[in-house]
Structure 1
Amino acid sequence: MKFIGLKDNIISGVLIANRFSQPRGNLPILSNIYLQSKKTGLVIKATNLESGVMMEVRGMCEEEGDFTVNAKLLSDYLLSVPEEKIELEVRDGKLKISANKYQTTINGIEAVDFPILPEIEDGETFEIEAKNLQKAVSKTIFAASAQEMRQELSGIYFSFGKNNILTVAATDSFRLAEQKIPFLGAGEKNAIIPYKTAQEVLRICETIQDKKIAVIFGQGEAVFKIDQIKVFSRLIEAQYPEYGAIIPQQINTEIYLKTSEFSQAVKTASLFSQNGLFDIYFKADPEKNSIAISSKRSDVGEHATMLEASIKGEPVETILNYRYLIDCLSKIQEKEIEILAASGSQPIKLRAKGDNDYLYLIMPIRQ
């Protein structure tokens, strides 16, 4: 094979593919990126068998062919080369890279052993604006469980429902994040997307927000088609929790305050929370239209912040995990937030003021 292209085009694809490669002792080819020179451009692939990616970048094909080389080495090398034009050529089982004064040869593995990425024929297809999917995933993914004891909680739940509304949700059973966005397509579909796949789709969405994404579902797998990029993934085959029952339907306290002030108060109080518990005390006083954020640790000291707020309804006191609050607040761009509570012993709702399409639920710490 022989291919000539611009460094920026080639490395953009190689860097994406590098994130999907995964070294395995018994399958060394999974550490490699697949390169194929063809008349329409350079095809780049990578897979870890659970998920994979394929894309095509522009350039000039002088000789068709394919080869695989170590993903990390190729990525690091291309990042270090300052030249604009790159020539890739395979000779005698090695990849020769030419870039003006830079001449390099990298050993590789013949492409015949590279795993075949699945193609879904006649699958259920839905279209989503990339900017909307980016918002939905970024505002929910942090609530997924880092533990894999319950596999379904380690993924991101996609529910294509009635009225062309996609509900994206994640929970670790201590908190829940849910975002609703529109989609195009007919029918309904529920699926659990693995965390790593959702994370990579999010990264790609952040670079091409003016595009549409096609999500195609097959038997136990899905493909996200984004411009010239296809992300393949196995689905998590499990039943996602019916979380609707834990969402308080009756709200007795409504609190409105500035996002930046609340965020700063939480961060300051976190300095005095107890190790491993991450607790801060939250108290809302409707008579004074104020909330108190406090924390206490016997070996360090104690702290309290009083904030002005608009409060309707009953007083509420609760103990919350400050990390869960910060995770959500860091994703809210609006100037004001609303906190809704049924009581101090029930989960609280937090979102940007008036944002009825988003829900963030935090379970209180019980002591």
Structure 2
Amino acid sequence: MKFFCTKNDLLTGVNTVQKAVSSKSTQPILQGILITAENQKLTFAATDLEIGILCDTPANILTEGKMVVPARLFSEIVRKLPDTQLSIELRDYTLLIEYDQSNINLKGYDPEEFPLFPELADAESFTMPTALLKTMIKQTVFACSSEGSRPVFTGTLMQVESGTVRLIGTDTHRLAYRIAEIPENPELHFYGIIPAKTMSEIYRLLKDEDEIINIRFNKNQVEFEFGSVRLLSRLIDGQFPNYKQAIPQMCETKTYLSVRSFLEAVERASLMAKDNHVGNIVRLVLKEDAMNIAQTSEMGKIQEQIPIRLDGKELGISFNAKFILDVLKILDTDEILMELSGPFSAAVIRPLEDPNYLYLLLPVRTA
């Protein structure tokens, strides 16, 4: 194997696939990146056996071949290389990198030991705008659980039916829901829990110039293809909770308020949380034209007040401040509607300018 390429082309490939490199495996081959040189391009591949990423970059290929390089060391070397033409050649499992009057020898692994990327059998597919998928991921993936004891909550449910696609994330304390239309194939049906890690990687890798993403799936795996990137992921086994039953159909109180005012007030109220042994809990008291936001700790007390429009009953309710801030930070709207049905019932937050999104949040019981 021998080829010429630029530092930027190498860096693009490494940066694209590096998050799929296994950091825990005792198998050295899974801590490497497979580089294949053929058809005047380099294909970079990495996998931890749950998620796999492939990326193509251009190169001047003199002799085709492939090699597995240690991911961490190779990426550090590439980042330190000068911005010049690189000559790279494989000699007996050793990669020779030449630039200017210098060279680096890097030992690698046998590419035949690298696990193959399986092809999706009996796969169906659909396409959607990448900008739309990025928005849907941004609005839902943050609500997934980071604890692995209940795997179904560490992923986002993707549900495709009747010409629509839904993404739902929940950690049992809050739920984020987004729906969009994909009218090209109304008969298509898919129901799969995609790991949050996969969705976060898709979000990271999607670029503005990638206009369309192709999504292929079967009952065990899902594949995303866009630009020069292909990402394959397993689906999480298990039954996702019935989210439709969790969403209240009626409410006793509706309040309309500014996202920015609410966000800034809750952030200031959270300043006392560091020394609060009961957690980052804020108390909201809704009255006719104002919301009072307060938090008390051993260090003192903060009380904020912001203007609102109230329709229905006045009430007081407590929430984990982080869960409020998480959703306010990802909404691209100026005003929200919060729907409530008492101090111990779930609240629903909806952006006034986007009827396709909602966020459900359970209150915290306080003394």
TM bracket, shorter-chain basis: over 0.9
Match of 2:60? Answer: 60
Structure 1 counterpart of 2:255, one-letter code: I
In the alignment, structure 1 residue 81 sits paired with structure 2 residue 81: yes
The 1:365–1:335 alpha-carbon spacing in structure 2 relative to 1, beyond 3 Å, is same
SS of match in other structure, 1:120: coil
Alpha-carbon separation, structure 2, partners of 1:353 and 1:275 = 36
Unaligned 5+ segments in structure 2 are none
SS of match in other structure, 1:139: helix
What's the CA shift for 1:189? 0.8
**Paired residues for 1:43-192 under 5 Å:** 43-162=43-162, 164-183=163-182, 184-185=184-185, 186-192=187-193
**Paired residues for 1:247-326 under 5 Å:** 247-273=247-273, 274-286=276-288, 289-297=289-297, 299-326=298-325
The 1:209–1:244 alpha-carbon spacing in structure 2 relative to 1, beyond 3 Å, is farther
Alpha-carbon separation, structure 2, partners of 1:116 and 1:92 = 22
Alpha-carbon separation, structure 1, partners of 2:25 and 2:166 = 39
Contact 1:140–1:168 (Cα < 8 Å) also in 2: yes
What's the CA shift for 1:277? 2.3
Contact 1:33–1:69 (Cα < 8 Å) also in 2: yes
* Root mean square deviation, CA, Å: 1.5
Farther off after superposition, 235-244 or 78-87:
78-87
Alpha-carbon separation, structure 2, partners of 1:306 and 1:222 = 47
Instruction: Map Cα deviations across residues 70-110 of structure 1 (whole Å, 9 max, x no partner).
Output: 11111111111231433221112201112324421111001
Unaligned 5+ segments in structure 1 are none
How many residue pairs are counted as aligned between the two chains? 362
Structure 1 counterpart of 2:279, one-letter code: L
Alpha-carbon separation, structure 1, partners of 2:142 and 2:95 = 40
Match of 1:353? Answer: 352
Contact 1:51–1:232 (Cα < 8 Å) also in 2: yes
What's the CA shift for 1:319? 0.3
Contact 1:128–1:182 (Cα < 8 Å) also in 2: no
Alpha-carbon separation, structure 2, partners of 1:349 and 1:9 = 46
Match of 1:365? Answer: 364
Contact 1:282–1:293 (Cα < 8 Å) also in 2: yes
Contact 1:123–1:216 (Cα < 8 Å) also in 2: yes
What's the CA shift for 1:182? 2.5
TM-score normalised according to structure 2 size: 0.95
SS of match in other structure, 1:134: helix
Match of 2:334? Answer: 335
Farther off after superposition, 311-320 or 84-93:
84-93
The 1:210–1:28 alpha-carbon spacing in structure 2 relative to 1, beyond 3 Å, is closer
Alpha-carbon separation, structure 2, partners of 1:115 and 1:319 = 50
Structure 2 counterpart of 1:331, one-letter code: I
Structure 2 counterpart of 1:159, one-letter code: Q
SS of match in other structure, 1:268: helix
Identity of aligned residues (%): 26
4+ residue segments displaced more than 4 Å: none
Farther off after superposition, 329-338 or 40-49:
329-338
Match of 1:13? Answer: 13
Alpha-carbon separation, structure 2, partners of 1:261 and 1:106 = 55
TM-score normalised according to structure 1 size: 0.95
